[in-house]
Amino acid sequence: ATPSPSPAPPRCPTSVARPGDAPALALPCGLALGSHVTVVGRPRRVPGGGLAQFAVELRGAGDGDAATTILHLNPRLRGDWSGRPVVELNTRFRGQWGPALRCEGWRRSDEDSVDGLVTCEQWTWNTGGTLEELKSMLLRNRVAGQSSSGLIDWPYPFVEGELFALTISSGLEGYHVQVDGRHVASFPYRVGFDLEDVATVQATGDIEVESMFAGTLPAVHPNILQRNLELLAELKAPPPEEPVELFIGILSAGSHFTERMAVRRSWMSAVRNSSSTMARFFVALVIYCLAI
């Protein structure tokens, strides 16, 4: 008997938005390279000497500490022990935090770059008030003929009571954070925290969330796609019909399926159309080099 064809892998929405006042934004198929998440909100005004802080997190499946925190973005508007505003990024697994990346207002060297972007941008002055106060100060300096270049470069990206649009995008080497269109920080990927494992986007703390949106999401969950890769005929490489002039071997870790899919859908598509070039993955192999 002829076996029945396997069903096509279920597809997922390529963009989602937070419905109503839901506490989190669910990502049915996780993230992929090039995905982006946008949170529009405003920091609450905190009376007294509170920290005035909030967190935006990309979390794995589960509740509470059982859920892996794949990315923790924590702006502290009034500072902490450092005494100045700070943006901290980190990961958490089984309740244990990793080493934090702290952006405290000075630009890190290009040696710490992620996809060519520095891990921390510079802000040299903070109004401590509203954006209208900042605009008024700049206007007074301009009328008086005074240069503001020595006083202010960019302010701290968050102001209590002021609306902001924060976007987290996934690049080849890590996450990139923009606020109101300006790059603020980049956080390199850490081993064991995969894009496809992101299940929800949550915002907690002193923040009023107006909306959440995620776009350029994978149409099929990478885990499902990996099991059904043979069904995607457009990604199959035909057997060579002529002698191969160029062979490209790509070493890849077993957990880097998302990265392999990015290669298949980009430059490897040109290789598939070539009769003299072949590209193949070598997955989860240990290569020993012997010096003679």
Domain boundaries, the chain: 16-215, 236-284
Max CA distance (Å), the chain: 89
- The closest alpha carbon to 56, from 42, 41, 74, belongs to 74
Bridge partners of residue 280, in order along the sequence: 249
Residue 191: the pLDDT is 82
Residue 128: the pLDDT is 46
Residue 150: the pLDDT is 44
Please count the residues of the chain: 292
Residue 38: the pLDDT is 97
Domain 16-215 has CATH 2.60.120.200: yes
Residue 152: the pLDDT is 46
Q: Provide the 10 A C-beta neighbour count for residue 171.
A: 16
- The closest alpha carbon to 131, from 100, 145, 152, belongs to 152
Residue 271: the pLDDT is 82
Residue 163 to residue 19: CA distance in whole angstroms? 20
Strands 277-283 and 246-252: parallel
Residue 189: the pLDDT is 93
193 touches 67 (CB < 8 A): no
Residue 197 to residue 31: CA distance in whole angstroms? 8
Token pair 């995607």 is found at 232
91 touches 72 (CB < 8 A): yes
- Averages of pLDDT over runs of 10 residues in the chain (292 residues) are 58 87 88 94 87 93 85 93 88 91 88 90 62 60 57 78 96 95 94 88 94 91 57 63 85 71 79 82 61 48
